[in-house]
């Protein structure tokens, strides 16, 4: 399978931020590598313009969250069908910031993933333990329970992102052995065709080592995806077909 390097811009980015994506494409001399997928998930306000500007250049565009329903009286929410209509191909669901800030449960994350699939999007379903859970030796138990609760029962294409909560935005990362252990465990619970991304403080300096781990099929990158230089460094460090 191709590796997938996904940028999660979170609540960052205005129309002018398109210049970062242009700069990224420019660093590849206009031709993105074909042996890996490059995805940017900007805020919902930029999905349509980014998709129309950059899809033809080979940058895949995704959303960061979706509602479980296709339409209806849900002020402020965005449906998977709307993201698809705007040109998105992926949507992140169950990110730890949504689980924490919006109290999202595994059951809700599963319903969102199902809505994404119904709209023709590939969901990136996020799981990961807190610092306390890791220190208590419960990382695999937590990730296993989240997967059992959040994954739709289907053969449709899905992507999993293992993102230890304590590694997000902190500059901390698990040891390579710990990443390998969780990814092997996730592989055992999913099919061989499911891409399993690692996320949490991926930078140009650690991407090569992390992305070389077996069953790590790409990365979900927050802060370092906002700057063309850093995201380019991570994409360049990724193996192609994995």
The dihedral formed by the CA atoms of 51, 58, 179 and 146, expressed in degrees to the nearest 10: 40
**What tokens appear for 125 in the block?**
């379903």
| 221: contact with ligand PGA by CB under 6 A | yes
| 159: contact with ligand PGA by CB under 6 A | no
Q: How many residues bind ligand PGA (CB under 6 A)?
A: 13
- In the complex with ligand PGA, which residue's Cβ is closer, 87 or 222? 222
Active site residue 20: no
Among 3, 8, 190, 215, the residue binding ligand PGA under the rule CB under 6 A is 8
**Which of 97, 104, 163, 183 does the annotation list as catalytic?**
163
- In the complex with ligand PGA, which residue's Cβ is closer, 81 or 116? 116
Collapse the DSSP code of 206 into the 3-class scheme (helix H, G, I; strand E, B; otherwise coil) and give the result.
Answer: helix
Active site residue 95: yes
Stretch that binds ligand PGA, among 30-38, 57-65, 207-215, 219-227 (CB under 6 A): 219-227
The whole-angstrom separation of Cα 193 and Cα 200 is 23
The whole-angstrom separation of Cα 142 and Cα 60 is 31
Report the sign of the C-alpha dihedral through residues 6, 222, 242, 181, in that order: negative
The whole-angstrom separation of Cα 165 and Cα 199 is 9
Q: Which positions are catalytic?
A: 95, 163
User: Under the rule (CB under 6 A), what is the footprint of ligand PGA?
Assistant: 8, 163, 168-169, 199-202, 220-224
């Amino acid at each position: 399978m191709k590796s997938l390097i996904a940028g999660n811009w979170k609540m960052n980015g205005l129309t002018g931020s398109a210049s970062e994506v242009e700069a990224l494409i420019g660093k590849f001399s206009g031709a993105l590598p074909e042996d890996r997928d490059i995805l940017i998930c900007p805020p919902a306000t930029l999905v349509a313009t980014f998709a129309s500007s950059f899809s033809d250049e080979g940058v895949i565009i995704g959303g960061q969250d979706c509602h479980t329903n296709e339409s209806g009286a849900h002020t402020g929410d965005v449906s998977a069908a709307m993201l698809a209509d705007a040109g998105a191909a992926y949507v992140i669901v169950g990110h730890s910031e949504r689980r924490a800030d919006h109290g999202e449960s595994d059951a809700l994350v599963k319903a969102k993933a199902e809505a994404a699939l119904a709209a023709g999007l590939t969901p990136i379903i996020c799981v990961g333990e807190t610092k306390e859970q890791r220190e208590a030796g419960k990382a695999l138990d937590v990730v296993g329970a989240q997967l059992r609760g959040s994954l739709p029962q289907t053969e449709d294409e899905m992507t999993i992102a293992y993102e230890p909560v304590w590694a997000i935005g902190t500059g901390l990362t698990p040891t390579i052995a710990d990443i390998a252990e969780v990814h092997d465990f996730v592989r055992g619970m999913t099919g061989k065709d499911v891409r399993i991304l690692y996320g949490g403080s991926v930078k140009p300096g650690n991407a090569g080592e992390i992305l070389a781990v077996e069953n790590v099929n790409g990365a979900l990158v927050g802060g370092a995806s906002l700057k063309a230089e850093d995201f380019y460094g991570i994409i360049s460090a990724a193996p192609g077909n994995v």
